[in-house]
Amino acid sequence: MTTIAYVFPGQGSQAVGMGRDLATSSPAAAATFAAADAALGEAIASLAWDGPADVLDRTENAQPALLAASIAILAALRERWTDAGRRAPTPAFAAGHSMGQYSALVATGVLSLEDGVFLVRRRGELMQASGAGRDGAMAAIIGLDDARLPELVAGAAEHGVFVVANRNSPGQVVVSGERSAIEAGAEIARTLGARRAIILPVSVAAHSPLMAEAADGMRETLATITFRDPTATLLANADARRITTADGAKAELIEHLTAGVDWVAAVESMVAGGVTTFVEIGPGKVLTGLIKRIAPDAEIIPADDPASADRLLELAEPA
């Protein structure tokens, strides 16, 4: 028996041109982009399709554009299942990586598409403003034994705020905090055996205490939004706990701004819950690559890949 999970990528998966061909061939995808444009009062679709890349990559633009593209892919997939006379499969779990949580919430009916794009636009603005006066930075640490992470954190934290922001797969983490600590941490990581330690081209320290102001701002904003219980079990970014209520989903969107993303725990939890097939719903294949390293025996299907079309159709249930 196939048990399915939907997974949604976060910022970094965006690319100029995402969703353009799909919107041409799928009325459902085109309607999704049109609804996102209307909700924001601007042509986020045009930015996603035509760029320029430097404008699309700004946090406040990348996040709503990526959410719109991810939900457009899901809408087109559901449309194809319906046109084939089949019923969309019911996923056992839905999980998003960082900002991808918002896509997961829209996909499971917790948020409307319109509220989703509004919230991620607001999230991006708050993240950009949070930690003003403190130079934030992030770095990718690749090839470091997970057992050495406590040493890395202890050493780098002597230079300022330093936390593990993302545990993406075994031997691959992203760290976040004050630039002085991140730069020191990159050097320490190399001495501890990391193959690479790369300072990322970002200006915010996501998933760190420097996002406390952003979390406060989101708490106020979320109080004005209607949340509903999810149609599939969600998993919290920080500790992979199960989220099954509207209140739990709302709390998650506040917490994950300052807490890390343990994607390894989330995938392992879904596998332990019986998941055999992961469908990555969003541009690209970032999560597909990570999940292959975490759960090599699982089937991972990137919905954005035309080569996946036949297998995705097989997942649908007879009408």
Buried b vs exposed e over 225-245: b needs ≥16 C-beta within 10 Å?
A: bebeebebbbbbbbebeebee
Report phi then psi at 278, rounded to 5: -105, 130
Catalytic residue among 13, 26, 70, 98: 98
Closest CA to 33 of 113, 119, 94, 107: 113
Element (H, E) at 6: strand 4-8
Q: Does 308 participate in catalysis according to the annotation?
A: no
Active-site annotation holder among 207, 208, 256, 308? 207
Side-chain-side CA neighbours of residue 202 (13 Å): 27
Give the contacts of 297 (CB within 8 A, at least 6 positions apart): none
Answer whether 39's CB lies under 8 Å from 118's CB: yes
What is d(CA 59, CA 69) in angstroms, rounded to the nearest whole number? 15
**Is there a catalytic annotation at residue 207?**
yes
The catalytic residues are: 98, 207
